[in-house]
């Protein structure tokens, strides 16, 4: 056989091999896309998140980035229908939901059971505000704790760690998997009643160390901590619940002071950060709140500070967000466009339905907005895969019969009393 014929035969065989290999690969890809996939499928996290998002409708994508609360001690029929029919991604437990801790556990069980009846079986993030001190949304038999300023006065990182740990153990017993704590705002403005004792103090480095210790204690107990209120709520006496605070500081001051705790927590892979309804006119040359600002969320937080975790808004029912946006529906739209991954609305069913209609319509009409929602939904699903498939994740269904054994935490009671004593200072 001539050399030319041998070469042609070799090329033919090689081409056939690659054709067969490509066909097998395409068939495998087609099979994995068409076969039944759920959140619990044994596929690598990044790939599974992608496959789940491919299967999601626009309605499911949008619902995945929403976190809603409810009024009363039991989840409302409307909230349950959001989970059942739209696959709502997250729920928030507020103080008005917590007549007793057993009702909280039953509500968590009911909502998670519904999430597992959906076709993709994506579980819910269930969040609350259990900072310690006077911000304690779940009361009842949960531990009385001295709070962050007392931890700061004592000055011991181990106290911050164990506070995060014991608070989180109680949340774990209720089936709550995310805590909007620690508050790492600095007590810069002494007239700040909204932050005040929620802060570890005015020293940026000290607050950073204590905030990181609190986060680690939470993580070790299986709870997702959330650092707040980015980029810093401490240098104002105004309360973003009532109106939009304006903090007149430069970017240089922000980087050297307010952002120091955030930078340390980001370097230690804090899983979630809450964006605050706070404006910084000297930096943005506008009254745009950081929670609705592409500059603060994408440029500064993502690009300059290198943050890769979840960005979650403060409650969008607060006037600090809606006053600027003009309506709750538009505030949600701006929050999504700015780069938040999860957007919170506390209670009002009628407004929730209006914002749903507004943003779903925008998804269907605006390809850029659709892509932003899809990116955020994939981020949320991926972080859920990382969390819920870890060894230390909070079980979906709390053991209601054992709640009284675990709340208040038996070891935590003695610790919090000792910690309160260590916080006493003389001036």
Estimate the crossing angle of helix 328-338 against helix 349-365, to 10 degrees. Answer: 50
d(CA 383, CA 226): 13
CA angle 372, 46, 165 (to 5 degrees): 95
For the CA atoms of 72, 76, 79, 85, the dihedral, rounded to the nearest 10 degrees, stands at 170
Token match 């790939």: residue? Answer: 47
- Angstrom distances, CA of residue 281 to CA of 59, 284, 287: 36, 5, 6
Token match 């053991």: residue? Answer: 399
The tokens of 280 are what? 């910084």
d(CA 21, CA 25): 6
Which residues are known catalytic residues? 241, 314
Radius of gyration for the chain, computed over Cα atoms and rounded to the nearest angstrom = 24
The tokens of 117 are what? 């009846």
CA angle 97, 398, 124 (to 5 degrees): 70
Question: Please, what is the end-to-end C-alpha distance for the chain in angstroms?
Answer: 101
Token match 């605006």: residue? Answer: 366
């Amino acid at each position: 056989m001539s050399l030319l014929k041998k070469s042609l035969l070799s090329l033919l065989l090689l081409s056939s091999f690659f054709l067969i290999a490509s066909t097998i690969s395409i068939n495998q890809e087609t099979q994995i896309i068409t076969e039944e996939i759920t959140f619990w499928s044994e596929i690598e996290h990044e790939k599974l998140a992608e496959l789940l998002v491919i299967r999601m409708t626009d309605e499911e994508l949008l619902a995945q980035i929403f976190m809603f609360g409810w009024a009363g001690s039991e989840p409302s029929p409307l909230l349950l229908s959001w989970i059942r029919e739209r696959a709502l991604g997250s729920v928030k437990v507020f103080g008005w939901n917590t007549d007793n801790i057993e009702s909280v556990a039953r509500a968590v069980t009911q909502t998670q059971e519904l999430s597992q009846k959906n076709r993709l079986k994506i579980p819910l993030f269930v969040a609350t505000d259990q900072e310690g001190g006077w911000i304690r949304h779940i009361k009842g038999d949960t531990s009385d704790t001295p709070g962050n300023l007392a931890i700061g006065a004592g000055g011991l990182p181990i106290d911050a760690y164990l506070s995060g740990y014991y608070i989180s153990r109680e949340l774990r017993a209720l089936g709550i998997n995310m805590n909007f704590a620690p508050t790492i705002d600095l007590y810069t403005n002494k007239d700040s009643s909204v932050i005040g004792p929620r802060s570890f103090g005015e020293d940026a480095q000290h607050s950073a160390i204590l905030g990181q210790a609190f986060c680690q204690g939470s993580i070790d107990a299986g709870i997702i901590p959330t650092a707040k209120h980015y980029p810093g709520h401490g240098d104002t006496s105004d309360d973003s619940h009532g109106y939009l605070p304006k903090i007149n500081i430069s970017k240089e001051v922000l980087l050297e002071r307010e952002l120091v705790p955030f930078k340390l927590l980001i370097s230690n892979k804090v899983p979630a950060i809450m964006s605050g309804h706070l404006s910084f006119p000297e930096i943005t040359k506008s009254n745009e709140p950081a929670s609705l600002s592409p500059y603060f969320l994408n440029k500064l937080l993502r690009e300059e500070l290198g943050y890769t975790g979840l960005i979650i808004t403060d409650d969008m029912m607060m006037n600090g967000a809606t006053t600027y946006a003009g309506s709750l529906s538009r505030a949600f739209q701006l929050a999504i466009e700015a780069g938040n991954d999860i957007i919170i609305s506390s209670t009002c069913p009628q407004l929730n339905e209006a914002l749903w209609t507004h943003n779903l319509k925008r998804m269907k009409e605006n390809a850029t907005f659709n892509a932003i929602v899809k990116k955020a939904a994939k981020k949320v699903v991926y972080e859920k895969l990382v969390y819920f498939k870890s060894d230390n994740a909070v079980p979906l269904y709390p053991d209601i019969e054992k709640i009284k054994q675990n709340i208040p935490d038996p070891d935590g009671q003695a610790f919090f009393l000792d910690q309160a004593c260590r916080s006493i200072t003389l001036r």
